[in-house]
Amino acid sequence: MPDTIPADSVGLVSPTTLHVDSPITLESGRSLPSYDLIYETYGELNANASNAVLICHALSGDHHAAGFHSMEEQKPGWWDTAIGPGKAVDTNQLFVVCLNNLGGCKGSTGPTSINPETGKEYGPDFPIVTVLDWVHSQVVLADHLNIKQWAAVVGGSLGGMQAMQWAISYPDRLRHVLIIAAAPKLSAQNIAFNEVARTAIKSDPDFHDGYYTEHQTIPRQGLGLARMLGHITYLSDEAMGEKFGRELRNDAINYGYDVEFQIESYLRYQSSSFVERFDANTYLLMTKALDYFDPAKEFNDDLAATVANIKARSLVISFTSDWRFSPARSHEIVDALLSAGKEVTYAEIEAHQGHDAFLMSIPRYIDIVKTYMQRVAIECKTS
């Protein structure tokens, strides 16, 4: 809880819900007759609506990217390190929009919403949505906000994939794209990790084929296990070693199967808090959206041809210790952009924090985003 709101915070914020009454047809062929998108905005949209920045969230993120919902809130929004007055994404100059994606569980229509056709929660019957579907729904939000062209679309990890998809699918609707700690598609190993997470959830006896709400339960064990696995892949060996090492919770080992090492305690704490704030069906859906992301599929697996229509200037960033989406995966994106002759800048950040580095306050990383976004902000005044 903040005693006072820090000067570089966007302060107290509250979300807005857009109810869309027209249907959206999804990549799967299924459709939603109507849906809600919950979003937050920070800063002011300028007179010609040229200073809007869209922030796309990752797997377990949401629309609350910066500031505090109340003075009681323990932590600010998930990218508060980068968004605020005078920060890397400067809300004194830019109008920042962040929404909870379709299929999420934080206020946008998703598995925990009521299906208007049945009057019951969608649960596992909620259609699987893809990165492209998200971008289509984000276009609806942009139209609603009268934003014809984003100054920049920004995202890390799964958010970076949305940003990339924006540049590919709506080349005229953004001037810059920031693709951070992402990949042009998942590798077999990435999909394998996701499948283990899904198996953990689905094999929990409390899962009930996804209808756990009807049984008034939550697949805590399975979702917690999925989160533990995720956490391991988001950190690097070095970061984990530095943070926990072989430290014991009590002074001595006791030759039992209870929590003994600090890392065990940490993972259990992370998973138990996560299961109370995240929906298992949403988790399954998000991992599927990741698995399916492969924009080059439509272009005979030729990534350079896939990005050929991009008009935005790109900033691609990777982190040296990220093994979930390693620098080599970012190189694939950069090489395609180079080979298509696109405007691109690429930074590889020395960081030991693993994939999670993209959410952290790493000076050189934040400085690069800030320097880049300063130029974006300057351009907004002339465009």
Partner 1 sequence: MSLRIDLQIISDWIPDGARVLDLGCDDGTLLKHLQQRGITGYGLEIDNRKFADCIKAGVNVIQADLDQGLPQFSDQSFDFVILSQTLQAIKRPDFLLQEIARVGKQAIIGFPNFGHWQCRVQLAFGGHMPKSRTLPNAWFDTPNIHLCTVQDFEQLCADKQINVLSRSIVNHAHKDTLGTRLLPNLFGQIALYQLQKQPS
Figure out which of the listed residues 18, 259, 347, 360 binds partner 1, where binding follows CB under 8 A: 347
Would you say 115 or 326 has its CB closer to partner 1? Answer: 326
Least distance from C-beta 354 to partner 1, angstroms? 19
Among residue numbers 284 through 343, which ones bind partner 1 (CB under 8 A)? 313, 315, 331, 334-335, 338-339, 341, 343
Phi, psi of 316 (to 5 degrees): -110, 135
Would you say 149 or 339 has its CB closer to partner 1? Answer: 339
Of the candidates 193, 187, 214, 217, which has an alpha carbon nearest to the alpha carbon of residue 205?
217
Least distance from C-beta 315 to partner 1, angstroms? 8
Q: Cα separations (Å) of 93 from 67, 350, 367, 375?
A: 17, 29, 17, 11
Would you say 163 or 275 has its CB closer to partner 1? Answer: 163
- Contact between residue 157 and residue 181 where contact means Cβ atoms under 8 Å apart: yes
- Contact between residue 58 and residue 290 where contact means Cβ atoms under 8 Å apart: no
Which stretch of DSSP H or E encloses residue 381? helix 363-382
Would you say 144 or 364 has its CB closer to partner 1? Answer: 364
Rounded (5°) CA angle 50-317-158: 80
Figure out which of the listed residues 144, 215, 268, 364 binds partner 1, where binding follows CB under 8 A: 364
**348: number of Cβ within 10 Å:** 15
How many residues belong to the site for partner 1 (CB under 8 A)?
A: 21
36 touching partner 1, by CB under 8 A: no
* Active site residues per annotation: 157, 322, 355
Least distance from C-beta 167 to partner 1, angstroms? 15
Of the candidates 269, 281, 335, 13, which has an alpha carbon nearest to the alpha carbon of residue 121?
281
Which one-letter amino acid corresponds to residue 176?
A: H
**Which residues would be at the binding site for partner 1 (CB under 8 A)?**
313, 315, 331, 334-335, 338-339, 341, 343-348, 364, 367-368, 371-372, 374-375
